[in-house]
Amino acid sequence: MSLTPEQQAEIDELRANPAPTLRAVSEGMEKHLYSAIPVLDHGFVRVIDYMGDDAAICQAARVSYGKGTKSVQNDEGLIRYLMRHWHSTPFEMCEVKLHVKLPVFVARQWIRHRTANVNEYSARYSILDREFYIPAPEHVAAQSLVNNQGRGEALQGEEAARVLEMLKADSTRSYDSYEAMISQDGQQGLARELARMNLPANIYTQWYWKVDLHNLLHFLRLRADAHAQYEIRVYADAICKVVADWVPAAYRAFEDYRMGAVSMSAQMMDCLRRMVKGEVVEQSTSGMSAREWREFQDMLND
């Protein structure tokens, strides 16, 4: 993990001078404030600020539903009800602001989630650091034979070593050229906004990312999934641990009703009912395509 000296000094100063507040705080989240969680070889996630806790979710829901709700449901029961029935607004009452350092190609996946406020490090204004993501050997994998956007088995032996060496050499060479182009030693120097085009997608960038809990959980449901690309999944896994400490009741409900749940089509439900009644159902009599039938079987066999 690579924090700059300035970032580390900021963290040390803020943690050494806590400020009193009248607003509700989450004790679990307080321990994460201004603490960087290492991710990949040079990346990190750290919590800059947050608003709300489990109680804030319930508070918002009871304003919407009326006074009577509180007398019949405890907070966790209410949160589970909201999650189970796909209510969104109460979860939007909680927000978190994260500082994330990540490879550019991961950032381009991440930014597809357009429901957050983002401010990224400017390579037009500043010079990017010489830091590149180089995967560990076990994550240098071949193209999947069944998934056009995924990876298969890890490369072995000489091929793996050759790929890693090319990644390192190309990263170094492109950064050397970047430095040579922007240098003003004996020349005018190319504008930074143009020189950055020569940098590879594995160079690290940084951003502040602020999002409400509802949209954060949607991000985590997709990116912490086993089918997500490893390099973004490890960031999502790190954030999951933060969210579990921040809003433990909401996170438990999220695990049960989102991460650990499946969504079935009408045809799948019909087949399941027929199976429960003892009928032998085959793909040919299911009303499903071969691919959907395989997905249905995977659901039943997991």
Active site residues: 223
CA angle 68, 73, 74 (to 5 degrees): 125
Q: Contacts for 190-198 with beta carbons within 8 Å, 24 or more apart?
A: 192/123, 192/124, 192/125, 192/126, 192/127, 193/123, 193/124, 196/123, 196/124, 196/128, 198/174
How far lies 177's CA from each of 131, 168, 172, 191, in Å? 15, 14, 9, 13
Instruction: Single out the residue of 200, 21, 220 nearest to residue 113, CA to CA.
Output: 220
CA angle 78, 54, 114 (to 5 degrees): 100
